Protein backbone atom coordinates (compact mmCIF):
# COMPACT_ATOMS: atom_id res chain seq x y z
CA UNK A 1 0.00 0.00 0.00
CA UNK A 2 1.23 3.45 -0.88
CA UNK A 3 0.26 7.07 -0.42
CA UNK A 4 0.77 9.08 -3.60
CA UNK A 5 1.17 12.78 -2.80
CA UNK A 6 1.16 15.19 -5.74
CA UNK A 7 1.79 18.92 -5.54
CA UNK A 8 0.47 20.54 -8.74
CA UNK A 9 -0.56 23.85 -10.27
CA UNK A 10 -4.14 24.83 -9.32
CA UNK A 11 -5.10 25.37 -12.96
CA UNK A 12 -4.22 21.72 -13.75
CA UNK A 13 -6.48 20.23 -11.06
CA UNK A 14 -9.49 19.48 -13.29
CA UNK A 15 -7.29 17.86 -15.94
CA UNK A 16 -5.60 15.70 -13.29
CA UNK A 17 -8.94 14.62 -11.82
CA UNK A 18 -10.16 13.67 -15.31
CA UNK A 19 -7.04 11.58 -15.96
CA UNK A 20 -7.36 9.84 -12.58
CA UNK A 21 -10.98 9.01 -13.42
CA UNK A 22 -9.96 7.61 -16.82
CA UNK A 23 -7.27 5.49 -15.12
CA UNK A 24 -9.92 4.12 -12.71
CA UNK A 25 -8.09 5.63 -9.74
CA UNK A 26 -10.65 6.43 -7.08
CA UNK A 27 -10.53 8.31 -3.80
CA UNK A 28 -8.53 11.50 -3.47
CA UNK A 29 -8.08 14.20 -0.83
CA UNK A 30 -7.37 17.71 -2.07
CA UNK A 31 -5.86 20.65 -0.15
CA UNK A 32 -4.85 24.15 -1.16
CA UNK A 33 -1.24 24.77 -0.13
CA UNK A 34 1.52 27.32 -0.63
CA UNK A 35 5.15 26.60 -1.35
CA UNK A 36 8.05 26.97 -3.70
CA UNK A 37 10.45 24.73 -5.50
CA UNK A 38 12.31 25.69 -8.65
CA UNK A 39 10.26 28.81 -9.31
CA UNK A 40 12.08 32.10 -8.99
CA UNK A 41 10.83 34.64 -6.51
CA UNK A 42 8.97 37.48 -8.13
CA UNK A 43 8.38 41.01 -6.93
CA UNK A 44 4.98 42.72 -6.81
CA UNK A 45 3.88 46.15 -5.74
CA UNK A 46 1.19 46.16 -3.07
CA UNK A 47 -0.22 49.51 -1.91
CA UNK A 48 2.87 51.31 -3.10
CA UNK A 49 5.26 48.93 -1.34
CA UNK A 50 7.51 46.47 -3.15
CA UNK A 51 6.91 42.97 -1.80
CA UNK A 52 8.88 39.83 -2.56
CA UNK A 53 6.42 36.99 -3.29
CA UNK A 54 8.22 33.82 -2.19
CA UNK A 55 5.39 31.30 -2.13
CA UNK A 56 3.17 30.03 -4.94
CA UNK A 57 -0.38 28.72 -4.67
CA UNK A 58 -0.45 24.95 -5.28
CA UNK A 59 -2.83 22.03 -4.86
CA UNK A 60 -1.89 18.93 -2.87
CA UNK A 61 -3.53 15.64 -3.78
CA UNK A 62 -3.26 12.61 -1.49
CA UNK A 63 -4.27 9.28 -2.96
CA UNK A 64 -4.10 6.01 -1.01
CA UNK A 65 -3.62 3.12 -3.43
CA UNK A 66 -2.83 -0.58 -3.62
CA UNK A 67 0.65 -1.34 -4.93
CA UNK A 68 -0.62 -2.22 -8.41
CA UNK A 69 -2.32 1.21 -8.71
CA UNK A 70 0.85 3.24 -8.04
CA UNK A 71 2.08 3.43 -11.65
CA UNK A 72 -1.34 4.19 -13.20
CA UNK A 73 -1.85 6.91 -10.58
CA UNK A 74 1.55 8.52 -11.13
CA UNK A 75 1.20 8.29 -14.93
CA UNK A 76 -2.24 9.94 -14.86
CA UNK A 77 -0.99 12.85 -12.76
CA UNK A 78 2.09 13.37 -14.92
CA UNK A 79 0.06 13.28 -18.16
CA UNK A 80 -2.38 15.91 -16.93
CA UNK A 81 -0.14 18.15 -14.80
CA UNK A 82 2.90 18.51 -17.06
CA UNK A 83 3.18 21.84 -18.88
CA UNK A 84 6.95 21.72 -19.35
CA UNK A 85 7.45 24.91 -17.35
CA UNK A 86 9.21 25.22 -14.00
CA UNK A 87 6.63 24.88 -11.23
CA UNK A 88 4.67 21.89 -12.62
CA UNK A 89 5.07 20.19 -9.25
CA UNK A 90 6.27 16.98 -7.65
CA UNK A 91 4.93 13.51 -6.91
CA UNK A 92 5.95 11.57 -3.82
CA UNK A 93 5.20 7.88 -3.30
CA UNK A 94 5.26 6.94 0.38
CA UNK A 95 4.88 3.56 2.07
CA UNK A 96 1.77 3.08 4.19
CA UNK A 97 2.09 0.94 7.28
CA UNK A 98 -1.59 0.40 8.04
CA UNK A 99 -4.98 1.42 6.61
CA UNK A 100 -8.43 1.13 8.21
CA UNK A 101 -11.74 1.78 6.46
CA UNK A 102 -13.83 3.34 9.20
CA UNK A 103 -17.25 2.38 7.77
CA UNK A 104 -16.61 -1.38 7.45
CA UNK A 105 -13.62 -2.01 9.69
CA UNK A 106 -11.68 -3.46 6.74
CA UNK A 107 -7.93 -3.24 7.05
CA UNK A 108 -4.92 -2.89 4.80
CA UNK A 109 -5.29 -4.14 1.21
CA UNK A 110 -9.06 -4.61 1.46
CA UNK A 111 -9.44 -1.05 2.75
CA UNK A 112 -7.79 0.48 -0.35
CA UNK A 113 -8.73 -2.01 -3.08
CA UNK A 114 -11.54 -0.76 -5.33
CA UNK A 115 -14.57 -2.78 -6.36
CA UNK A 116 -13.94 -5.22 -9.18
CA UNK A 117 -10.27 -5.97 -8.56
CA UNK A 118 -9.73 -9.74 -8.80
CA UNK A 119 -8.92 -11.39 -5.49
CA UNK A 120 -5.71 -12.93 -6.87
CA UNK A 121 -4.20 -9.43 -7.16
CA UNK A 122 -4.47 -8.90 -3.42
CA UNK A 123 -1.16 -9.49 -1.67
CA UNK A 124 -2.81 -11.01 1.40
CA UNK A 125 -4.47 -13.68 -0.72
CA UNK A 126 -7.90 -13.07 0.79
CA UNK A 127 -10.95 -12.50 -1.38
CA UNK A 128 -12.34 -9.00 -1.69
CA UNK A 129 -16.06 -8.91 -1.13
CA UNK A 130 -18.26 -7.45 -3.85
CA UNK A 131 -19.52 -4.91 -1.34
CA UNK A 132 -16.06 -3.40 -0.91
CA UNK A 133 -16.31 0.29 -1.62
CA UNK A 134 -13.75 2.23 -3.69
CA UNK A 135 -10.63 3.49 -2.05
Residue 127 has pLDDT above 80, yes or no: no
12, 80 contact by CB (below 8 A): yes
* pLDDT tens by residue, 53-102: 678 899 999 999 999 999 999 999 999 999 998 889 999 999 999 999 99
Residue range 14-27, pLDDT digits in tens:
999 999 999 999 88
Contact of 93 with 2, CB cutoff 8 Å? yes
Classified as helix, coil or strand, 1 is coil
pTM of the model: 0.75
Q: What is the mean pLDDT of the chain?
A: 82
Domains of the chain: 2-121 (3.30.70.120)
pLDDT at residue 113, rounded to an integer:
65
Amino acid sequence: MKLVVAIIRPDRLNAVLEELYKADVQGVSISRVQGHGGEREHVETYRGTTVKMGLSEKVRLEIGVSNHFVQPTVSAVVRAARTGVVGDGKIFVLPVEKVYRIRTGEEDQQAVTPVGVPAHTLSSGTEASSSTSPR
